[in-house]
């Protein structure tokens, strides 16, 4: 249960920071109209940017869950190693494969999205 609560809380905090940066910050008020126009798709620019950022964040949710799972597994392995329960440590180490894949996917996705934004902003003179 602790894992679910802390993972959900971590996702909410990351999303709130992202949403705040792309919609509320003073730099966003200047940059968003330059980048996307004043009324893209007939809606206010900050609303469109918020929806786009939300959709782009969705694939990061399982990646954050994977990273948090790795932290919990490592903590359990450390606790089992303190007690010298070596078979428990081996069993936990086999559980690390799937969260590692999710975390690596999230890192690759994050780097790709932000690299694409930087290239797009540079080509459009922002």
Instruction: Provide the Cα torsion 78, 80, 86, 87; round to 10°.
Output: -120
Quickly state the pLDDT bin for 96 (edges 50, 70, 90): low
Two structure tokens written together for 86? 């070596």
Mean pLDDT of 65-93: 70
In terms of pTM, does the model score above 0.85? Answer: no
Read off the DSSP letter of residue 40. Answer: G
Answer yes or no: is pLDDT of 91 > 60. no
User: Which distant-in-sequence residues (6+ apart) come within 8 Å of 46 by Cβ?
Assistant: 23, 28, 29, 32
């Amino acid at each position: 249960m602790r894992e679910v609560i802390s993972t959900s809380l971590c996702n909410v905090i990351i999303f709130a920071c992202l949403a705040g940066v792309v919609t509320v910050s003073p730099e966003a008020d200047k940059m968003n109209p330059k980048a996307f126009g004043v009324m893209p798709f007939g809606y206010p620019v900050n609303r469109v940017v918020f929806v786009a950022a939300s959709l782009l964040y969705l694939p990061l949710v399982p990646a954050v869950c994977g990273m948090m799972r790795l932290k919990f597994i490592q903590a359990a392995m450390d606790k089992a190693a303190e007690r010298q329960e070596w078979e428990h440590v081996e069993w936990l180490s086999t559980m690390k494969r799937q969260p590692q894949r999710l975390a690596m996917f999230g890192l690759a996705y994050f780097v790709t999205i932000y690299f694409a934004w930087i290239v797009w902003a540079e080509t459009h003179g922002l």
